[in-house]
Structure 1
Amino acid sequence: MAYLIGIDLGTTRIKAIVVDETGRQHRVVSAPTPSRDEGDGRVVYEGAALWSVIVRLIRELVSQIDPGQVAGVACASMGEAGFLVDDQGRELFPALAWFDPRTRPIAEELVARLGRETLRSITGLPADFTYSVSKLLWYREHDRARFQRARYWLNMADWVAFRLSGVAATDFSLASRTMAFDVRQEVWSSEILDECGLEASLLPTPVPGGTRVGRVTGPAARETGLPEDVSVCSGAHDQLASALAVGATRESRVLNSCGTAETILTALSADGFERALPHQEVVIGHHLFPSLFYGMTTLRTSGLSATWFVREMLTGTDPDYDELGRRAEQSEVGARGLRFFPYFRTSADVVGAPDAAMILGLRDFHTNADLARALLEGLSFEARRLLDRLQKGAGVAPKVVRAVGGSTANRCWMQLKADVMGLPLQVAAHQEGAGFGAALLAGLGSGLLTETDLNRLSEGSTRQFSIRAEEHAKYAGLYQHHLELLPLALEGARRAGRDERRGDVSPK
């Protein structure tokens, strides 16, 4: 029996999964993503710490199977973040997290020079500080001498493949998270790179997802326990790997990926790409395969909000989604007047949104059950808002939404989403969406699987949440109230943020 290994290098956890050629999952192992919090939203990842965890997880997997039967390995990862490596493959800087705010001024300067419309037209991306090109410019500004020693910039999944194979390559989906990739031409943009003073040779070769880029090297084999002849394949941005896992490589499918961040995503044809381009609230990028694109709307703090609430307000420990759901079910529709706006980190599509969440309507009779309900309702309203924007901008009209990710373990939350969105919600069979998608790409690149196999293995769901008519009717009005209160919540958060920076917390 042949095996495939998929790695999911996420913002908060690293997972590794082994599946066989029939798509059956044999084992999943995981560990927290090691990071260093430098305060004020600034977070970095050290290469040595990340690699140590990845090696340990791979060794744990291969100890349970016949390593000689492993055909391929691929990695999916968070977007935007990555490492600059020298000609010896050594990391020159810690990797800035995708959400690290210290690149804001540089991103603003770049937008001023090139213009939002130019950047949007070339890359499909709305102007934002998170993308890789701003990080490259920050590294150069921070330490030019060290920057000049750089041989390659590697997105996280590309870096893992590089550590395994010694080959620098990136797939289309991760390339399009750099804000330096011409998504129509599938090449690095000379216009953007020239304006930034960057050489295209610094960037890895763009290839379709699931391309065999090399094989496991001798040193990597000794570290991981993988044989040297195992195919190393290009992976994907984690959201696009999840899309592959549920069949959202077809325009009729809509994915709700529920992780630290939450996305609503659909595949787009070339014509669909052009139709969505004027709608700045929709992030457009290159999908995994040639001439295929995607439209995506994102809430950056979905799972993060739930984790914060459980840790700080309920159990004081790591996420217990079951307990969160049980508490929320003890309240009622509308959470007795409480409203939660989950913008712990700047919203990707709300202009001027601050890095602050807001709770409105808190009274002395409210309980933590009401707070839990308000949290899940607020997140569900945001999921509906993301879906509405995708429908308007990309012209999609889904009949069902396919959900994948850790948050789908919370049945209460998934039912609320179905009620609020007014669409049935199917929880995908493969809950390790990004890891399973990476394993499929390893199968494609190694020759073990065909595109027909990928379509077949992406079918199926474990359970479906149907719309409850009475609750949907109630939530229709509450959703409109959420939208009406949104400007008030954002302004309150902005004012609180200004007062905090001044050190002035006195009442006005």
Structure 2
Amino acid sequence: MSYLGIDVGTTGCKVIAFDEEGNVRAWAYEEYPLHHPRNGWSELDAEEVFGKVVRCLRKVAEGIRHDPPVSIGISSQGEAVVPVDAEGRPLARSIVTFDTRGDEFVSLFREKLGEERFFAITGMPLSGIGTVNKILWWKKYAPEVFKNARYFLCFEDFLVFRFGLPPAISFPLASRTMMFHVERGEWSSEILDLAGIPPERLAQPYPSGTPLGEVPEKFAAAFGWGKGIVVAAGGHDQPCGALGAGVIQPGLAMDATGTVECIAPAIPHFVGGEAMWRNNLCCYHHAFPGLYTTLVYNFTGGVLLRWFRDQFGEKEKEVAACLKKDPYEVLLEGLPENPTSLWVLPHFTMTGTPYFDTRSAGMVVGLTLNTTKKEFIKALLEGVSYEMKLNLELLRNAGIPVERLRAIGGGAKSPVWLRIKADIYGVPVETLSVSEAACFGAALLGRKAKEDIRDFGALVCDLVRVREVYEPDPERAKIYEERFAVYRRLYPALKTVILQEGGMP
């Protein structure tokens, strides 16, 4: 049997078919463009996204022609929303997460509810990225769109609706809208009343893994499939990735390294309080039913190494081409064994948690004429890891200790970086047999819905196997702990410079 996992991201979508042992049977990926009609605006053409998902489904269907899928689960980017008519046709482009138009509506909730109350309801620190603020923008500036929209849907519920089922959204994705009462598991009447958004114009929320219905025969026939394909409530992409990495026990966390570095732990209960919302830490539903999660992240993340490759790695790219290797592999060969004497503040884009500072900038401290290229490269990896160690400390202070990390994403392919992380974090870092964790997590939820699995945790633990463990080296860990004390002072010092007259713009 095959189980499909769909992952709808900001710049592309992926569909993967897994067998009963968690092996990849077929996969397809399609990209789509982001549109930026004005400064600060970021949009997706939802019809184009749906078309690319269908293309991926067709390619995968061809690869599993003799073993059609029995279930579908969907992993989705957060916050992005599209207004649709009663037939599911988009009435405007989708406004995606980092579009800034929602910022002006933050004051409404700050004045009427306050940040502490807002967090207590939604589990989300108050900000402009929430779906509710994007809908309010249409209400104010595109009233015809707001008036004519039958539903305002995120991408999971948009796909469910276009598959031919009533619009349904998972608890984790509903949480990202900032309209969801996270502990009650329902839309918040308090927030919807303030926004003037009737709940019937939103999808029905369900716990992840809930069966939503079967793919209608008309839609399934387009791929050569028959009846009985169950669609499950899926989740937001990060919790789906955590599920796909087997992060379903307290003390365990996913460490996803791509363009963004993100850590997502499993939490047994909702964690509120000032230590969370003042540090921009969320708390919302995990894709594993009954658990919660939070996210700490650095927007620069793995893109820092890509920046170095593109700006200073011409020689390494030439060598890689000759040897038919990945340029990153060449860049990371021969790095110093011991910690460097450099400190890199990895704010080359903007910061992530806890600061959300758009004015910060990158910083490299400790350069001398004896600094080598390989030292500099290692320092970049150390800088990102120092930043995430800072976030891990914030989690610990909020009562969410992380004792082991499971690495996924591009960074999980680098033993060098994994050793650095283990030494800096002071906890073991594990690699996994599973690839494409977000799709796999979504596929697992589809399987849960199809087979009515009672001990879902046992299935996850059976299929997600640890491949290798990187333990902290005590001597290096001690040095890193001492140098981390210096790192902690970099951002406050830079912030002081920026705020001074004549500082950075």
**C-alpha distance in 1 between matches for 2:203 and 2:196:** 17
Distance 2:138 2:312 in 1: 38
1:64 maps to: 63
Query: Could you tell me how far 1:3 is from its partner in structure 2?
Result: 0.5
Equivalent in the alignment of 2:6: 7
Query: What SS does structure 2 have at the residue aligned with 1:268?
Result: coil
Q: Give how far 1:254 is off.
A: 2.1
What CA distance in whole angstroms lies between the structure 2 residues aligned with 1:388 and 1:143?
43
**Could you tell me how far apart the structure 2 residues matched to 1:121 and 1:244 are?**
25
Q: Which residue of 2 aligns with 1:221?
A: 220
In terms of mean alpha carbon deviation, does 96-105 or 305-314 score higher?
305-314
Partner of 1:178: 177
Distance, in Å, in 2 between the alignment partners of 1:202 and 1:439 is 28
Deviates more, 1:32-41 or 1:176-185: 32-41
Query: Does the residue aligned with 2:132 lie in a helix, a strand or coil?
Result: helix
**Residue 30 of structure 1: SS of its match in structure 2?**
strand
Distance 1:105 1:498, change over 3 A: farther
| Deviations 1:292-346, CA, capped at 9 Å, x for gaps | 32233222332343444434443699x9995335424545455553523235134
1:220-259 alignment runs, 5 A limit: 220-221=219-220, 223-259=222-258
Counterparts of 1:413 and 1:176, CA distance in 2: 32
Amino acid at match of 1:57: C
Instruction: Report the Cα offset of residue 288 of structure 1.
Output: 3.0
SS at match of 1:112: helix
Q: Is 1:425 equivalent to 2:425 in the alignment?
A: no
Deviation at 1:90, TM superposition (A): 0.9
1:415 and 2:419 aligned: yes
The percent identity for this pair of structures is 28
The code of the aligned residue for 1:253 comes to L
In the aligned structure 2, how far is the partner of 1:368 from the partner of 1:41?
Answer: 36
* AA of the residue aligned to 1:372: I
Q: 1:53 to 1:322 in 2, by over 3 A?
A: same
Task: Find the partner of 2:393 among 364, 388, 397.
Answer: 388
8 Å CA contact retained: 1:67, 1:226: no
**Residue matched to 1:324:** 328
Could you tell me which amino acid in structure 2 is paired with residue 454 of structure 1?
L
Q: Is the 8 A contact 1:108 1:129 kept in 2?
A: no
CA distance in 2, matches of 1:130, 1:313: 34
Q: 1:143 to 1:40 in 2, by over 3 A?
A: closer
Structural RMSD (CA): 3.0
Alignment-mate amino acid for residue 99 of structure 1? F
**Pair 1:462 & 2:462 matched:** no
Residue type of the partner of 1:354?
Answer: R
Q: CA deviation at 1:171?
A: 0.6
- Equivalent residue in structure 1 for 2:354, among 349, 354, 364: 349
Tell me, what secondary structure is at the counterpart of 2:467?
A: strand
Contact 1:209 1:289 in 2 (8 A): yes
Matching of residue 375 in structure 1 with residue 380 in structure 2 = yes
Give the Cα separation in 1 of the matches to 2:19 and 2:177: 33
What code does the residue aligned with 1:428 have? L
Contact 2:343 2:383 in 1 (8 A): no
1:139 corresponding residue in structure 2: 138
SS in structure 2 of the partner of residue 265 of structure 1: strand
Q: Number of residues paired by the alignment? A: 496
Match of 1:99 in 2: 98
Moved more, 345-354 or 228-237: 345-354
What does residue 479 of structure 2 align with? 474
Cα pair 2:211 2:233 within 8 Å, conserved: yes
The change in CA–CA distance for 1:67 and 1:444 in structure 2 (over 3 A counts) is: farther
Deviation at 1:71, TM superposition (A): 0.3
| Aligned equivalents of 1:224, 1:368: Cα separation in 2 | 52
Q: What does residue range 37-116 of structure 1 map to in structure 2 within 5 Å? A: 37-38=36-37, 40=39, 42-66=41-65, 69-116=68-115
> Given that residues 340 and 374 in structure 1 are in contact (C-alpha distance below 8 angstroms), is that contact kept between their aligned partners in structure 2?
no
Deviations 1:84-128 (A, max 9, x none): 211121112212221222322222443233210110111111112
Cα separation, partners in 2 of 1:415 and 1:221, compared to 1, 3 Å: same
Q: Secondary structure at the match of 1:402?
A: strand
User: Could you say what secondary structure the match of 1:255 adopts?
Assistant: strand
Q: Distance in 2 between matches of 1:409 and 1:55?
A: 30
1:129 match = 128
SS in 1 for 2:486: helix
Q: Cα gap change, 1:305/1:137 in structure 2, threshold over 3 Å: closer, same or farther?
A: farther
Indicate how the Cα distance of structure 1 residues 35 and 351 shifts in structure 2: closer, same or farther if over 3 A, else same: closer
CA gap of 1:19–1:98, structure 2 versus 1, over 3 A, is same
In structure 2, the CA distance between the partners of 1:397 and 1:305, relative to structure 1 (3 Å rule), is closer
Q: Distance in 2 between matches of 1:226 and 1:359?
A: 56
Go from structure 1 to structure 2 and tell me whether the alpha carbon gap of 1:376 and 1:291 turns closer, same or farther (over 3 Å shift): same
Q: What SS class does the counterpart of residue 162 from structure 1 fall into?
A: helix
Provide the TM-score with structure 1 as the length reference.
0.88
Residues in 2 aligned to 1:16 and 1:499: alpha-carbon distance in whole angstroms? 44
Which shifted more, 83-92 or 452-461? 452-461
Displacement of 1:435? 0.6
2:196 is matched with 197
After TM superposition, give the deviation of residue 81 of structure 1 in Å. 1.2
8 Å CA contact 1:264, 1:390 repeated in 2: no
Assess, with a 3 A threshold, how the Cα gap between structure 1 residues 430 and 496 changes in structure 2: closer, same or farther.
farther
Matching residue within 425, 439, 461 for 1:435? 439
Aligned mates of 1:185, 1:440 — CA distance in 2: 25
Q: Give distance in 2, aligned partners of 1:122 and 1:223.
A: 42
Question: Any idea what the Cα deviations from partners look like across 1:459-503, whole Å, max 9, x if unmatched?
Answer: 411222121233222211222211111112345567799865xxx
Amino acid at match of 2:278: Q
The answer to whether the Cα contact below 8 Å between 1:402 and 1:428 also exists between their aligned partners in 2 is yes
Task: Please report how far the alpha carbon of residue 176 of structure 1 lies from its aligned counterpart in structure 2 after TM superposition.
Answer: 0.7
Return the letter of the residue paired with 1:413. W
Deviates more, 1:491-500 or 1:156-165: 491-500
Give yes or no for contact 1:269–1:292 (8 Å, CA) kept in 2.
yes
Hey, what does 1:503 align to over in structure 2?
none
Query: SS state of the match for residue 36, structure 1?
Result: coil
Question: Which shows bigger deviation, 245-254 or 422-431?
Answer: 245-254
Residue 16 of structure 1 is matched in structure 2 by 15
Matched-pair contact (CA < 8 Å) for 1:261–1:299? yes
- Whether the 8 Å CA contact 2:17–2:25 is kept in 1: the answer is yes
In the other structure, the counterpart of 2:278 is: 280
